[in-house]
C-alpha cells in the first residue's frame, strides 16, 4: 500500500486528519488539543541520514552513513561536526541528569568501528569511548539511574555499562539473535529487546540487583 500523508488515519479512529499545505499544520480531529506544526526543514550533508536525537529542546543531532555526526540548532544552523567514528553512525541516544537535562550524547556505529562514543553536549568533545561489540550497534538506552547504559548489537549481545567509569559490567545471555532494538518502559522498571528471530524479550529492572 502506498503511503499518502494527506490521508493518515488513526487505527482506532477512522477520521482523517486535516493538512494545511500553506501553513504546514496537521490537525487531528479525534484529539482536540494536538496540532503538529512544521516549523523548519533541515538538510544535513550526510549521504544518508540514519538516526537523529534532540538535545534539551535546543539542538537536533544527526548521524549518517558517512560516519559523521552533525549538530544543528532547531532553526537549521549547523554548529558542530563530530568526527570520531570510522563507520556509519547507526544510533544516537542521550543521557540525562536527575533534573531531566541532557548532559551527554551517545553514538553507536556500524561494523568496522562498532564503538560507543560519549559526547559532552556543552563542548561537543569526547568524554569516553567503549568498544565492546563486534558488529553494528543498533540501540542505546539510558536506564536513568545516573550511571547505567544498555546497548544492543547485530553481534547478538546486549551489554550493560557503567558509563561513568566507561566499562562493561556484564551482558545479557538470554538473547540468541541479532538485536534490532531496545526500549525502556515509561516507569523505567522494564526493558524490552527485539531481534531478527521475531522475538521480544522483556527484562525486569531491579535497581538494587540489576536486570533480571
Q: Report how far residue 187's alpha carbon sits from residue 125's, in angstroms, rounded to the nearest whole number.
A: 31
Note the pTM of the prediction, 2 decimals: 0.81
Long-range interactions of 179-186: CB distance < 8 A, separation 24+:
179/138, 179/139, 179/152, 179/153, 179/154, 180/138, 180/139, 180/152, 181/138, 181/139, 181/152, 182/139, 182/140, 182/141, 182/150, 182/151, 182/152, 182/158, 183/139, 183/141, 184/141, 184/142, 184/143, 184/144
Specify the pLDDT at position 17.
Answer: 46
Specify the pLDDT at position 172.
Answer: 84
Specify the pLDDT at position 133.
Answer: 94
**Over the chain, what is the mean pLDDT?**
84
| CA distances from residue 66 to 73, 77, 83, 153, 208 in whole angstroms, order as listed | 21, 20, 10, 19, 41
Q: Read off the pLDDT of residues 135-146 as tens digits, 9 standing for 90 and up.
A: 999 999 999 988
Q: Read off the pLDDT of residues 94-117 as tens digits, 9 standing for 90 and up.
A: 999 988 899 999 999 999 999 999
Higher-pLDDT residue of 43 and 96 is: 96
Count of CB atoms situated within 10 Å of the CB of 53: 20
Could you identify the residue written with the cell 549518517? 64
Highest mean pLDDT among 98-102, 128-132, 195-199: 128-132
- The neighbouring-strand residues paired with 51 are 63
Torsion of CA 162, 165, 168, 170, to 10 degrees: -50
Specify the pLDDT at position 81.
Answer: 96
Amino acid at each position: 500500500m502506498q503511503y499518502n500523508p494527506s490521508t493518515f488515519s488513526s487505527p482506532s479512529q477512522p477520521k482523517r486528519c486535516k493538512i494545511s499545505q500553506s501553513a504546514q499544520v496537521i490537525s487531528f480531529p479525534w484529539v482536540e488539543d494536538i496540532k503538529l506544526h512544521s516549523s523548519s526543514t533541515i538538510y544535513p550533508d550526510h549521504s544518508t541520514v540514519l538516526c537523529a536525537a534532540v538535545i534539551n529542546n535546543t539542538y537536533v543531532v544527526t548521524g549518517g552513513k558517512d560516519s559523521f555526526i552533525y549538530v544543528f540548532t532547531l532553526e537549521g544552523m549547523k554548529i558542530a561536526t563530530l568526527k570520531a567514528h570510522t563507520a556509519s553512525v547507526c544510533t544516537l541516544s542521550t543521557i540525562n541528569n536527575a533534573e531531566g537535562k541532557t548532559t551527554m550524547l551517545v553514538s553507536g556505529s556500524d561494523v568496522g568501528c562498532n564503538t560507543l562514543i560519549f559526547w559532552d553536549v556543552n563542548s561537543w568533545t569526547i568524554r569516553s569511548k567503549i568498544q565492546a561489540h563486534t558488529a553494528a550497534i543498533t540501540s542505546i538506552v539510558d536506564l536513568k539511574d545516573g550511571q547505567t547504559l544498555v546497548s544492543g548489537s547485530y553481534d547478538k549481545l546486549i551489554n550493560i555499562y557503567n558509563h561513568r567509569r566507561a566499562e562493561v559490567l556484564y551482558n545479557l545471555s538470554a538473547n540468541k539473535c541479532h538485536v534490532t532494538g531496545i526500549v525502556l518502559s515509561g516507569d523505567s522498571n522494564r526493558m524490552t529487546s527485539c531481534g531478527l528471530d521475531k522475538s521480544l524479550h522483556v527484562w525486569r529492572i531491579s535497581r538494587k540487583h540489576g536486570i533480571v
